Amino acid sequence: MKVIQKLASLALLLAGGSAMILAQSTGTITQTVNQRNTIGNLSATPNGTIIAGNPIAFTYILNTAGAPAPVSETVQFFDGTSALGTPQSVGLTAASNLLPYSQVNTGQGWTISGTAPTVAPLAVNGPDGSTGTATTLTFVNGTSTVLYAVPGTTNYANQQVTFSVWAQSATPTTLILTLKDNPYVAASQSAPCTVTSTWQRCTLTYTFPANAGKGFSVSLTSSSVGVPINVWGAQFEQAAQAGPYVSTIGTARPTGAQAGTVSFPWSQFQTGVHTVTVQYAGDANFVGSTSNAVVLTAQQEIPKVILTDSPVGTSVYGQAVTLTAQLSDQDNDDNWIPTGTVQFFDGVTLIGTGTLNASGQASITLVGGTSLVVGSHSLTVQYSGDEDFSALTSSPIIHVVTKASSTGVVTTAVTSSLNPSIYGDTVTLSISVTSSVGIQPTGTVSVVDGANNLGTLTLNASGNASITIPVFTAGTHNIVVTYSGDSNYGN
């Protein structure tokens, strides 16, 4: 009985303990993970003014500034709102070719040289979305400068370096970047950067002289008075091109930061202004972004114009001569061919026109020598130009036309007004000289009766002449008419 009671008590104790355990509460929390901001930086080589149809090399850098592992992202290049080519893949890897320069700050550490601009430290968000990390500078005159000097212990003599800073301004303006060694100031170099309302990276590459001192200094000067310029992310690198990772200076680089670069060639720009950007759509972990705009002005290309003749160099009067104009771009790119019309000239005389075919070629044939008389001819072809190629005149070629032999070309016909005739009758001989090629023969004909010269006659504009013989002696007369030739025909 006592055993049963003890078991029952034990059961109640266990039951009570169980009840206490079930009564305990469980803590919960909802963790919100936001997408990470990204920055896209675009550059082009060549930049600024380009030649339509020539290759352009674009370099795009996508910075994710802290992705935990390598990833691959897809971006699309645009000219205005028109897509350029197909989407490009950017493989992201651990980033940074930066030097250790934690002492350089954006918004802190800048000093003033000359008349002081208005400085609002850490007043604007950086291009990566970081809050209050950019500095707003308002220059009061064109000579005021913001300067940062780094004494340093590293000597950069004979080394190539790149300084870069992100900049933005609601009013387009120009920011002058200057980099020089410090403190000896052996030399310096400056470069302008056009600043717009879109965050963009301004860069300056410089090779320090052999006598450069240790450290360096950087200055920023505005070309505009009273125009606020936001600056962010200054960096200094031992490289010819600004590296892929950009951070607010003074902040440690995140562990495992990621960035990737893609090179994109393009050669299909026509004349005009092209505003090129790269759009990254983002994914579940990263916010999409649009790069800075690269503005390119494509000018007409000077075409290559070659004129050839067939037969080459010389022909006989009356022989057909074919002139061929071949146009191409300077690189002979079959995908970029001039279009439009050409005119063929003999000196200043227009002798024919032609329309370029799909291969950039046009030809004319001068039949019978009517346009090319005997002598030397300086022949050129003038291209009228099109949207992408400028007008141009070819170098001249010399074509010489020699006289044609009368044999087989010039025909001399003689008719008699009365044949046979009776002694004492007056007879008129009519002569006609014609050519199977070229223009009407000119000059004279001689009329001979055996050994008796009846006369020399001048052909009229139609190639005709006549002579009247008052008396022919009885018998057979062998009348021979000989053409003397002219400037185009031999005798």
The domain spans of the chain are 35-96+253-299, 111-248, 304-402, 410-483
What is 410-483's CATH topology?
Immunoglobulin-like (2.60.40)
Q: Distance (Å, rounded) from C-alpha 336 to C-alpha 53?
A: 6
Pick the closest to residue 301 from 270, 335, 344 (CA basis). 270
Residue 19 confidence (pLDDT) above 50: no
Residue 379 confidence (pLDDT) above 90: yes
> H or E segment at 14?
helix 2-22
How confident is residue 450, by pLDDT bands cut at 50, 70 and 90?
Answer: confident
Pick the closest to residue 97 from 289, 217, 257 (CA basis). 257
How confident is residue 23, by pLDDT bands cut at 50, 70 and 90?
Answer: low
Q: Give backbone dihedrals phi and psi of 41, rounded to 5 degrees, phi first.
A: -125, 125
Residue 235 confidence (pLDDT) above 80: no
Whole-number pLDDT of residue 239: 65
Q: CB count, 10 Å around CB of 111?
A: 12
Q: Distance (Å, rounded) from C-alpha 340 to C-alpha 417?
A: 59
Whole-number pLDDT of residue 428: 92
How confident is residue 226, by pLDDT bands cut at 50, 70 and 90?
Answer: confident
Whole-number pLDDT of residue 47: 84
Q: Are 274 and 25 contacting, i.e. CB atoms less than 8 angstroms apart?
A: no
Higher pLDDT, 129 or 480: 480
Q: Are 221 and 87 contacting, i.e. CB atoms less than 8 angstroms apart?
A: no
> pLDDT of 42-81, one tens digit each?
888 888 889 888 889 998 888 776 566 557 889 999 999 9
What is 111-248's CATH topology?
Jelly Rolls (2.60.120)
> pLDDT of 189-199, one tens digit each?
888 898 988 88
Average pLDDT over residues 234-261: 59
Weakest mean pLDDT among 92-101, 147-156, 444-453 = 92-101
What is 304-402's CATH topology?
Immunoglobulin-like (2.60.40)
> Which superfamily is assigned to 35-96+253-299 in CATH?
Immunoglobulins (2.60.40.10)
- The structure's pTM equals 0.58
Whole-number pLDDT of residue 139: 83
Q: Are 148 and 106 contacting, i.e. CB atoms less than 8 angstroms apart?
A: no
> pLDDT of 331-373, one tens digit each?
766 567 899 999 999 999 999 999 999 999 999 998 755 678 8
Whole-number pLDDT of residue 243: 62
- Kindly state the tokens that stand for 165: 């800073």
Pick the closest to residue 388 from 336, 459, 448 (CA basis). 336
301: Cβ contacts below 8 Å, ≥ 6 apart: 51, 52, 53, 54, 329, 330, 336, 388, 389, 390
How confident is residue 248, by pLDDT bands cut at 50, 70 and 90?
Answer: very low
Q: Where are the alpha helices (DSSP H) in 41-121?
A: none
304-402: same fold as 35-96+253-299? yes
How confident is residue 156, by pLDDT bands cut at 50, 70 and 90?
Answer: confident
Burial class (CB in 10 A: 0-12, 13-18, 19+), 7: exposed
Q: Distances in Å between the alpha carbon of 55 and those of 41, 271, 340, 344?
A: 20, 14, 23, 32
Whole-number pLDDT of residue 222: 86
